Structure 1
Amino acid sequence: MFSSATKVKGQGVGSAYAELVQLLKKHFADDIDVQINKLGRSDISHYHTVDFRFYLSTFLPQRGRKIGYVHFLPETLNGSLKIPQPFRWIFFHYLIAFYKRMDQLVVVNPSFIKDLMRYGIREDKITYIPNFVSKESFFELSKKEKIELRKKKGISESKFVIVGTGQIQERKGVADFIKLARRLPKIQFIWVGGFSFGKITDGYSELKKVVDNPPVNLSFPGIVERGKMNEFYNLADVFLLPSFNELFPMSVLEAFSCGVPVVLRDLELYNSIIAGYYLPASDVDEMKVSIEKLAEDEEKLKKLHEKAVKASKKYSEDYLAQVWYSFYKKQTEMVKR
């Protein structure tokens, strides 16, 4: 494994990487020897981030099959980071060059296979394996535990709570999350996350003003350690992610795993992975109406909870463990040919 994803806190790439390493060590400790950021002879070199030193390592001998995890594409970075030209152009070309150095790419959303093909990467070099989360890390608390949790956080048991998570940036739709908080003053909004990349974050100046001085019903607890995120999901009556562009957000899977009803911006890219498990809304107006209806209709909220539970079973750790094992097994067999 090659990754620097955990150096920057509060981003989904780090979460996906941590989940996979944990899965392999838990299920296949006797079959798979996992080494982190160590050069040496290996059957497989799995690259999770696109560091230049990792790119250089692909030219060394005895690297085995080079696997690249596609967590983002040039177009998905729009609205995330402010990279001035010509550095933006250089980085985007470097990113595709990195992917082309791989023997096999893994995408977390099948809709991105065609995007990679447009960059000149053959379809037979791309494998779809969805993200997943562990039930040991993300799980639904009992009703009694949720009441105690709200007391601990100073939130009324009767308060309707909306939780969103992720980096505070334009692409995540945080500006719309703020608009909704202002338009729904009786509902408590919580956005868990921060400016992981500081001032180069797209929309930093305007968003920072609100983070420093939010409406009364909106709180920003900042970047929270992954081990404590389960509490925030269990505070929520609804999980809302108004993001404009994603691959396969870990936060949505975490919410599903906690049995939280999910509302997402109506994006086409979700159709091939989680259609039917969440409530889609195209803009702020639709999100507002959806939230109001869920706050007033307990039966509607219950049905959306049931869908979340079903989704969490579909993307379970046990199922994806076998998928990853089969994938790695196939790659090692190709090394031996």
Structure 2
Amino acid sequence: MLNITMFSKADSVKGQGVGSAYLELMRLLQTHWQDEFNIKINRYGRSAISHYHTVNPMFYLSTFMPNRGRKIGYVHFLPETLEGSLKLPKPFQAIFNRYLISFYKRMDHIVVVNPTFIPKLEAYNISRADVTYIPNFVSKREFYEMTKKKQLQLRQKYGYDQDKFMILGTGQIQDRKGVPDFIELARRNPDIQFVWAGGFSFGRITDGYQELKQVVDNPPANLSFPGIVDREKLVDYYNMADLFLLPSYNELFPMSVLEAFSCGTPVLLRDLDLYRAIIDGYYQAASDVDDMQKQIDHLRDNPAGMQFLHDKAVLASKDYSEERLARIWHDFYLQQAKEG
């Protein structure tokens, strides 16, 4: 049996994708490979593989300890992708950026959730040969499409109009997520119900906190902020929505998009290069807030277009299925153990 130690604090802050990805991987390994992998969490004993999911200082120090085995780093962000997420004084930001890259360089091998990160890591003098791309995934047991009848019942349960076109966004409320554009679209479309499920996971240091907090506290009548929604209830929101909109300016491999796909919810995203690298053809793209408005106008009166995006979402969820990723992770760990 292969001994694997997971080092993670990803689930200590609610409402962030890193935590969702970590929990999904843990559940996958325990479901599919419990007879082959002996998994421990945040333990400092001997291990064949140490898989670092977050970059906490104590974890960094542990990389200098003996018996860590093969050190695997999970790269969910780089210094440039943190811009627009947290607002830190420049000296602290510079120190953290150097620390982050130093952490990654302590690893024997890196896993990225988006292949566009590979050349960026090379720019930090991390060899391409030491990097593997493994995408995120979600479980169909947790995120699944419900019947139309159940979807309408959920709208009644949560207090949303059953007849209104509903647009959902999820994730942390911050500038990087494009929440100001989401708010702008809500103001432009008073006859559409907009819902953003998420909150200020990092409080006042969230970039754009003051301006966004004012809107969250006093939103337009057609804009709802239910706060950070427990993961087991998020499936309800994806099913209630007619369209999922994520207007982020910068993402890695957003769990929220995979969750929407898994629920069969049509997806509209800002047109970003990194999406083309991983999910091209499965969603509708828009260049800016005006283009998003144009796409919304087109889709809400176009049942055939909505059905097309629904079908694409279903296809995407098969490509990023739990079964396929279970085998990929299994083979990856065994290969890394051989090289350790």
TM-score band w.r.t. shorter chain:
over 0.9
Out of 5, 11, 26, the position equivalent to 1:6 is 11
Matches within 5 A, 1:1-337: 1-335=6-340
Give the drift of 1:154.
1.7
Give the CA deviation at 1:23.
Answer: 0.2
Letter in 1 for 2:317: S
Shift of 1:265: 0.1
Q: Whole-Å Cα distance in 2 between the matches of residues 74 and 114 of structure 1?
A: 14
Q: Deviations over 1:202-223 (max 9, x none)?
A: 0000000000000000000001
CA distance in 2, matches of 1:85, 1:143: 50
- Alignment coverage as a number of residue pairs: 335
Task: Quote how far apart the aligned CAs of 1:157 are.
Answer: 2.1
Q: Secondary structure at the match of 2:39?
A: coil
CA distance in 1, matches of 2:8, 2:314: 31
Distance in 2, Cα, partners of 1:150 & 1:197: 29
- Which consecutive residues of structure 2, in runs of 5 or more, have no partner in the other structure? 1-5
Give the fraction of aligned pairs with identical amino acids, expressed as a percent: 64
- Match of 2:145, SS? coil
Amino acid at match of 2:137: F
C-alpha distance in structure 2 between counterparts of 1:154 and 1:167, whole Å = 23
SS of match in other structure, 2:38: coil
User: What is the one-letter code of the residue matched to 1:76?
Assistant: T
C-alpha distance in 2 between matches for 1:160 and 1:247:
29
* Root-mean-square deviation over aligned CA pairs: 0.6
Counterpart residue identity of residue 195, structure 1? F
How big is the shift at 1:134?
A: 0.5
Instruction: Return the letter of the residue paired with 1:300.
Output: G
TM superposition shift of 1:150: 1.1
Letter in 1 for 2:133: Y
Q: CA deviation at 1:318?
A: 0.2
DSSP 3-state at the match of 2:169:
strand
Name the structure 1 match of 2:3.
Answer: none
Residue 307 of structure 2 aligns with an amino acid whose one-letter code is K
Runs of 4+ more than 4 Å apart = none
Q: Distance in 2 between matches of 1:154 and 1:86?
A: 46
SS of residue matched to 2:136: coil
Q: What residue ranges of structure 1 are gaps of 5+ in the alignment?
A: none
Distance (Å, rounded) in 1 between the aligned partners of 2:40 and 2:237: 32
Structure 2 Cα separation of the partners of residues 42 and 141 of structure 1 = 42
Give the TM-score, by structure 2 length.
0.98
Task: Output the amino acid matched with 1:56.
Answer: L
1:126 CA drift (Å): 0.3
